[in-house]
Structure 1
Amino acid sequence: MDNPNPILQLKNKISELTATQRKVADYIIKNPVDVAFLTVDQLAGIVGTSTTTIMRLTFSLGYSGYTEFQRGLQEILKNRADPNTRLAANLKDTNRSDLWIRCAENHINNIQSTVEMVSGETLSKVLDMIVSADRIYCTGVRSGLPIAQCLTYGLNRLLGNCDLVHADHFEWTERVHNYTSSDLVIATSFPRYARKVFEYVKMARENNAQVISITDSYSSPLAKYSDFILPCNVGSVAFHNSVIAPMFVADYIISAVAIKVPEKTKQRLNKLDSILKETNYHLT
């Protein structure tokens, strides 16, 4: 292909498409991350059209078929995830005098879109899974690590059965084979997804552990091995994955668990508070 940007091609050609093809193109433009990992049959089912319509659309753009079109889409998303690419793109639209406001608005929008993506039913099932687990293992690297640390600290205070797993280290390979269906892994990973987190989640699931993933979309590589996905918008005004929305999710989980099992929570917190007082831990 001379033009490697399928999204730009769709936008430029959309007025020439049939009504059905425009419906497909509109969905792809609005949901490129999802489409990058959907089969042609899955995309057809979601949009409510035939695979033939989608294939004709890709042919009209000059591709040999849906597979080649999808590869081009994946390459665009891969480049967008690169920190230097994101920073350069964001700098074009940034007025440094209003950066403070833009940053605040970005965080608010990320949280709002995250709230809209996660259903109450999913949250209820996630909480049931957490409070019923024998052991909980939280993992994440780079931008996902603070979320894993927050969850480990919060859930351990409430339930006393949570460990932080550093996926970049190799200690987990010696323990993951002992996981059972009573164990729960809460994994956090965002583009560009860390291979070690994926490998850990995959092996944990193969050993029957349950998995909850906090990630950016339902097309995340973690989705294949997860019982539940909690998608978060992690866009920032600079180059990095923003942790604000996923940290909001972590804070919600901790608060909701405390409210779901109040008696157990009170007992744990009272014991911990007694120990802290006995050791004169706090200044005041």
Structure 2
Amino acid sequence: MNHDILTLIQGNMPTFSKGQKRIANFILESYDKAAFMTASRLGKRVGVSESTVVRFAAELGYQGYPDMQKSLQKMIRNRLTSVQRIEVTNDRLGDQDLLSMVLQSDIEKIRLTLEELDRDSFEKAAEAIVSARKIYIMGVRSSAAIATFLTFYFNLIFDNVVEVSANTASEVFERLLRVGEGDVVIGVSFPRYSSRTVQAMNFARDRGATTIAITDSEASPLAPLGTYLLKARSDMASFVDSLVAPLSLINALLVAVSQKKNDDLAATFQNLERIWEEYGVYEKVQE
């Protein structure tokens, strides 16, 4: 279903029944909330049955209500403001237990990520990282936490890692000035997508670098720029981005890379342990 769902609804409005028009009008006016409602909840909100909502989705050409809902969510994921996110979350929560809902949602995102991840792309991405001349890592805003985590551990494994800071647009391209063939550029971005990360990945790809896009779906503007696409489901918990599944993917990538560098890594950590001990980096916990 490639058409904008709002355009699709407007074009079919004359053919809808009275109940379907109520559904259509609500979606057109409050698509940010409708996208995260169950068929039952949407039906109650506009005063129609759940089956009417399901038939409405079929009328538009979707395989079912979840398919229509997915289309709505993809359309709006990058459009929601922080205020809209809070409103949507409050509507989704209702009287449910907040702690259970958030944690169960994170568990589900990890499960879906495991099911949907392209294993071949994952393996090739790990191989490319290990053999790279230089490794560039970029992620801004909420994705900066993931990029920094990845950079911290890669710096323990490799001596050719560059974290691309993005305080200004010029700073991004200055850090990537010498990028080219033989280099790997890892871009991390989740909704709302960072334009600077997209620009940096485009720049790196045009200069012949291998690009690894870590993002949430093929609909992400980062996806077509990746030599290898690693998808991890993300979600929003109020104005906060839930990045549990992306971080789990990063953990798996770190383990995969470390296994390929196993012999070198053992020697590196032997040296590190001596340094940490000598300079008292870690507190000793008494048994």
* TM-score for both structures, normalised by structure 1: 0.74
Q: Give the match for residue 190 of structure 1.
A: 190
Q: Deviations over 1:30-87 (max 9, x none)?
A: 64279x7xxxxxxxxxxxxxxxxxxxxxxxxxxxxxxxxxxxxx4x4444x3222222
Query: 1 CA distance for matches of 2:62 and 2:177?
Result: 49
What is the letter of the counterpart of residue 277 of structure 2? Answer: K
Aligned residues: 240
Partner of 1:268: 268
Per-residue Cα deviation, 1:97-156 (whole angstroms, up to 9, x for no partner): 721221211111111111112122121111101111111111111110011001101111
Shift of 1:255: 1.4
Cα pair 2:235 2:243 within 8 Å, conserved: no
1:149 aligned residue: 148
Q: Find the aligned partners of 1:261 and 1:77 in 2 and give their Cα distance.
A: 38
Partners of 2:100 and 2:136 lie apart in 1 by: 37
Superposed, 1:145-224 pairs within 5 Å as: 145-169=144-168, 170-224=170-224
* Alignment match, 1:116: 115
Which runs of structure 2 are paired with 1:1-284 in the superposition (5 Å)?
4=28, 13-16=56-59, 21-23=61-63, 29=68, 31-32=70-71, 74=75, 76-79=76-79, 81-94=80-93, 98-169=97-168, 170-284=170-284
CA distance in 2 between counterparts of 1:233 and 1:144 reads 13
Shift of 1:278: 3.0
Q: Deviations over 1:178-226 (max 9, x none)?
A: 1121111111111121111111111111111111111111121112211
For 2:186 and 2:212, how far apart are their aligned partners in 1? 5
Write the letter of the residue equivalent to 2:139: G
Q: Counterpart of 2:224 in 1: which secondary structure?
A: helix
CA spacing shift, 1:274–1:15, aligned 2, 3 Å: closer
Rounded Cα–Cα distance in structure 1 between residues aligned with 2:92 and 2:155: 42
Match of 1:51 in 2: none
TM-score, length basis structure 2: 0.74
Deviation at 1:163, TM superposition (A): 2.0
Find the aligned partners of 2:192 and 2:182 in 1 and give their Cα distance.
30
Higher relative contact order, chain-length normalized (CA < 8 Å, sep 6+): 1
CA distance in 2, matches of 1:172, 1:85: 30
Whole-angstrom distance in 2 between the partners of 1:102 and 1:184: 38
Which whole-Å CA distance do the structure 1 matches of 2:66 and 2:105 have between them? Answer: 24
CA contact (8 A) 1:234 1:244 kept: yes
Distance 1:261 1:164 in 2: 20
Paired with 1:33 and 1:215, the residues of 2 have a C-alpha distance of 19
Closer, same or farther: CA 117–16 of 1 in aligned 2, 3 Å: closer
CA distance in 2, matches of 1:110, 1:194: 21
Structure 2: state its 5+ residue gaps. Answer: 1-6, 11-24, 36-41, 43-52
* Inter-partner Cα distance in structure 2 for 1:14 and 1:97: 26
Give the superposition deviation at 1:11.
5.8
Is the contact between residue 111 and residue 233 of structure 1 (CA under 8 Å) also seen in structure 2?
A: yes
Structure 1's unaligned 5+ residue stretches are 37-73
- Deviating more after overlay: 144-153 vs 95-104: 95-104
